[in-house]
Amino acid sequence: MSSNEFRIRKTEVGDAFYLPPVERSAGQVFKSIPELAFIADDQITDVAGHLAAIDAGKSWVAINISDSSIIGFLVGEQIGADLYIGEFSVAAPWQGQGVGRALLKQVMLEAKREGFSRLTLTTFRDVLWNGPFYGKLGFVILSSENTDAYLRDTLRAEAEHGIPVEQRCAMALKL
């Protein structure tokens, strides 16, 4: 599959129903890491959550050109001058095909155009398609003293949910 086989656009209300299955599909890759396999079947964002992000204008989708299906999405939230990436998923059959990279690059451009100063997120430090992926795109791991309160709160909530805190980090990309 090539970049010519998909396009990126803002998410529309009618797309919301199709996003939870993409997130569920994307999570299946965690089954390859025994201590994180539970994530594959963990809770996902429901349609109402997606509708709220769409209403706020902070949701983008990757569309398969051949059949108009949604193959990936990114949902953000404005927190001050930051665009916090709350969920970023690419359907399993499309992983490793450049969809995630294209989706994130489009969001970077739009966030910069909208006046955001940074993109931020929490992720697994060493999982190949998490921390190292973001690092290749210019994100840096934030030291504990440089981690904003909302990111510390997110990491704390993730730990309470059973996510191994020692494997997590907050990252940011200056725009």
pTM of the predicted model as reported, rounded to 2 decimal places = 0.93
Find out whether 110 and 19 touch, Cβ atoms under 8 Å. no
DSSP per-residue codes, 115-165: T-SEEEEEEESS-TTTHHHHHHTT-EEPPGGGS-HHHHHHHHHHHHTT--G
pLDDT score at 1: 45
- Angle subtended at Cα 125 by Cα 119 and Cα 130, rounded to the nearest 5 degrees: 60
pLDDT score at 152: 95
pLDDT score at 134: 97
Q: Residue 132: give its domain's CATH number.
A: 3.40.630.30
Find out whether 132 and 164 touch, Cβ atoms under 8 Å. no
Average pLDDT per run of 10 along the chain, which is 175 residues long?
78 97 94 89 91 95 96 97 97 95 96 97 94 96 94 94 91 97
The 3-state DSSP class for residue 15 equals helix
pLDDT score at 162: 87
**Domain, as residue range, for 170:** 3-174
Segment holding 22, helix H or strand E: helix 19-27
pLDDT score at 42: 87
Residue-wise pLDDT for 84-111, tens only, equals 999 999 999 999 999 999 999 999 999 9
Please, what's the largest Cα pairwise distance for the chain?
A: 47
pLDDT score at 126: 93
Alpha-carbon distances, residue 54 vs 6, 16, 67, 115 (angstroms): 20, 8, 22, 19
Q: Radius of gyration over alpha carbons of the chain, in Å?
A: 15
In the DSSP assignment, the letter for residue 68 is -
Number of domains in the chain: 1
